[in-house]
């Protein structure tokens, strides 16, 4: 059950990173806030990889074309997912947008079965569905009119969840591709490669199309450094989870992030939570608890 501990740690760190990125969005724009987690996270990923290699005494595994393909697919999917998530957060509350993105586990289970052949028991599938119903209850308001303004952030958040799901499958595939070395070293190797690719892609993009946001992110280095560290720290533990079990298990347990988001929402962002959202969180808790019992 080490994967379960890794998922909870990752969810807590990701909540902190998302909250920081949300604040940065209003200062440096969506693309600028998106690249912060990668640009400032990459040095920490290299530190993590070096430390793990020293502690384990193992050499860093070499990368073949299949691994690089998985890493690149995950990197691009995660960039797009982060941008869509931040766009949704501009129009909906922090906790509700987090709920939108957490339709991800069902999509992870589907992609995992199709791409990697991951097998899930019927009990695990039911637990994932129950937790996802809780997410839908949190995200959709019964009295909310179906307007373009309401649909746009919902679609952005759900699409972000789909891309996060695809990224999780790519990253797990790459980790499995690395072979027989320790699970922590394989996870750290994928982290360094993915953040390196993401940093390169976004710096090139911003130099060509948004130099102002790139410059602004450098001037706000204190806030950006924290977001980068928490992003790398969260990904390190997500990848450890992916190296130990199916991505759907890890991402379903990661729904505890919704509870962490509620704490941030109430304590720091002064946003309220409805009874419907609390019911949704209860179903999420039931689904997650069931997954742990059957897993």
Count of domains forming the chain: 1
Retrieve residue 102's tokens.
């957490």
pLDDT in tens, the chain (295 residues): 799 999 999 998 988 887 787 778 777 777 787 788 888 999 999 999 999 999 999 999 988 999 999 999 999 998 898 888 877 777 666 666 766 776 777 777 777 777 777 777 788 778 878 877 877 676 665 555 545 556 777 778 888 888 988 999 999 999 999 988 899 999 999 999 999 999 999 899 888 988 888 888 888 888 788 888 999 999 999 999 999 988 888 888 887 877 777 776 666 555 555 677 777 777 877 777 776 666 5
Q: Beta-carbon neighbour count of residue 116 at 10 Å?
A: 16
Question: What domain range includes position 36?
Answer: 2-294
């Amino acid at each position: 059950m080490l994967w379960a501990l890794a998922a909870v740690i990752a969810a807590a760190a990701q909540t902190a990173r998302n909250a920081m990125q949300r604040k940065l969005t209003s200062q440096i724009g969506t693309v600028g806030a998106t690249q912060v987690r990668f640009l400032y996270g990459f040095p920490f990923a290299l530190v993590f990889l070096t430390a793990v290699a020293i502690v384990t005494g193992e050499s860093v595994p070499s990368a073949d074309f299949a691994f690089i393909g998985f890493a690149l697919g995950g990197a691009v999917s995660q960039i797009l997912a982060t941008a869509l998530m931040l766009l949704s957060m501009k129009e909906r509350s922090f906790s509700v947008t987090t709920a939108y993105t957490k339709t991800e586990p069902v999509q992870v289970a589907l992609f995992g079965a199709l791409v990697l052949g991951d097998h899930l028991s019927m009990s695990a599938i039911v637990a994932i569905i129950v937790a996802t119903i809780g997410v839908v209850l949190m995200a959709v308001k019964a009295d909310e009119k179906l307007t373009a303004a309401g649909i746009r952030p919902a679609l952005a958040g759900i699409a972000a969840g789909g891309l996060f799901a695809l990224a999780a499958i790519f990253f797990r595939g790459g980790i499995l591709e690395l072979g027989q070395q320790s699970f922590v070293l394989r996870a750290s190797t994928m982290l360094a490669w993915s953040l390196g690719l993401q940093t390169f892609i976004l710096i090139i993009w911003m130099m060509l199309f948004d130099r102002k946001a790139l410059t602004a992110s450098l001037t706000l280095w204190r806030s950006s450094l924290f977001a980068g560290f928490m992003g790398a720290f969260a990904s390190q533990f997500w990848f450890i989870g992916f190296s130990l079990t199916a991505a759907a298990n890890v991402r379903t347990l990661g729904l505890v992030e919704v509870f962490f988001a509620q704490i941030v929402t109430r304590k720091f962002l002064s946003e309220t939570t409805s009874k419907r959202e609390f019911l949704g969180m209860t179903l999420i808790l039931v689904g997650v608890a069931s997954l742990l019992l059957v897993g």
